[in-house]
Amino acid sequence: MFSRKTVFLIGCILVIAVNFTLLTASSRDALPKSVIERLAISMAAPFQMIFFTSVDFTEEVWKTYFSTVSAVKENAVLKEKLAMADNLKNRLRELELENKRLRKFIDFEAPGQEPLVAAKVIGRDPSPWFRTIMIGKGSRDGLAKGLPVLVSEGIVGQIVSVSEKYARVLLITDRNSAVDALVQDSRSRGIVKGDNTDRCFFKYALRKDPIEKGDIIVSSGLDQVFPKGLRIGKVVQGKKEKSRLFQIITVKTFVDFDKLEEVLVSLGRVAAPGRAGRDR
């Protein structure tokens, strides 16, 4: 005998056939009057419905697929445009910051109204034994060995070598650098020496001189390199020992050498040969 599944399947088919037969019988005006034709249509209708349903489903799948592909391409284009916009935004921000820094140069005037040349910092000495930077201006721009290098905050250093397009600057924090200086208020004299860190020492200040923490150190102009009155730094620590003739004074420079990006070179004076970095 037939299994339950077979009986159930035959029953479903009979129900569908009867429903289509009744449907076609109630629509005599719309369907052919021949019993055979009505029966044929009733039997074919389910297969047609399945066919057209499959076609509609396939068409919808294709539309969804192409829409997804189009969305993926559009997304890639939008990501590229967003990256370009972010890049442009960053460039504009850099230009804004550069403009802000250069405005300080416009307001800055070197003592004696000496002509100034602006230059970008293009390199730094990676060695821990030297504190120098490379700038993107050279002899064709009027630069020469011994010229002082400044920023609006104070003294940077002096040029120690020059090529046609580039120049090397010895920073005042280098142990080979020396700047004749004085305390702005008390006028006590000394020499600012570097120690290859971000600080300097105010050497040869007599123990009797009144030098306090917070005092401003400026260039004296007596070394014939740096114009008089340029800021160097402020005293952060002072020590007097009875056994020593000179005080031990630590100075923090006003210039943040780790953040230097542009500098000014004063063309007003050229140091004598061998003057750069000479200790006293």
Q: Is residue 279 part of a domain?
A: no
Residues 102 and 120 in one domain: no
Q: Is residue 273 part of a domain?
A: no
Q: What is the pLDDT of residues 164-203, one digit of tens each?
A: 999 999 999 999 999 999 999 889 999 999 998 888 999 9
Q: Is residue 169 part of a domain?
A: yes
C-beta atoms surrounding 56 within 10 Å: 10
Confidence band of 40 (pLDDT split at 50, 70, 90)? low
Residues 51 and 130 in one domain: no
What is the rounded CA–CA span in Å between residue 262 and residue 259?
Answer: 9
241/52: higher pLDDT: 241
- For 82-120, give one letter per residue: b (16+ CB within 10 A) or e: eeeeeeeeeeeeeeeeeeeeeeebeeeebeeeeebbebe
- Domain residues for the domain of 247 are 116-266
C-beta atoms surrounding 276 within 10 Å: 20
CB 118 within 8 A of CB 264: yes
Which of residues 78, 107, 136 is at a domain's end? Answer: 107
pLDDT value, residue 259: 87
Tell the residue number behind the tokens 């070197």, with chain if given: 110
Q: Is residue 5 part of a domain?
A: yes
CATH code of 140's domain = 2.40.10.340
Count how many domains the chain has. 2
Q: Is residue 274 part of a domain?
A: no
C-beta atoms surrounding 279 within 10 Å: 11
279/74: higher pLDDT: 74
Residues 102 and 130 in one domain: no
pLDDT value, residue 190: 93
Which of residues 107, 135, 170 is at a domain's end? Answer: 107
Residues 76 and 125 in one domain: no
The secondary element (H helix, E strand) that includes residue 248 is strand 248-253
Q: Is residue 271 part of a domain?
A: no
Please say if the pLDDT value at position 244 is more than 60. yes
Q: What sign does the CA torsion over 142, 148, 149, 154 have?
A: negative
Please say if the pLDDT value at position 230 is more than 70. yes
Q: Is residue 238 part of a domain?
A: yes
Q: What is the pLDDT of residues 75-112, one digit of tens each?
A: 777 777 677 766 666 666 656 666 666 566 555 655 55
Residues 125 and 96 in one domain: no
pLDDT value, residue 275: 42
Q: Is residue 171 part of a domain?
A: yes
42/114: higher pLDDT: 114
Residues 43 and 94 in one domain: yes
Tell the residue number behind the tokens 């123990």, with chain if given: 207
Which of residues 52, 72, 107 is at a domain's end? Answer: 107
Residues 196 and 252 in one domain: yes
Residues 156 and 248 in one domain: yes
What secondary structure does DSSP assign to 170-229, as a single string? EETTSTT-EEEEEETTT--EEEEEE-SSSEEEEES-BTTS---TT-EEEE-STTSSSPTT
Residues 142 and 260 in one domain: yes
Q: Please calculate the CA angle 35-40-43 and round it to the nearest 5 degrees.
A: 125
Residues 134 and 246 in one domain: yes
| Beta-ladder partners of 238 | 249
Residues 146 and 95 in one domain: no
71: helix, coil or strand?
Answer: helix
Residues 48 and 5 in one domain: yes
Please return the burial class of 26, using the count of CB atoms within 10 Å of its CB with bins 0-12, 13-18 and 19+: exposed
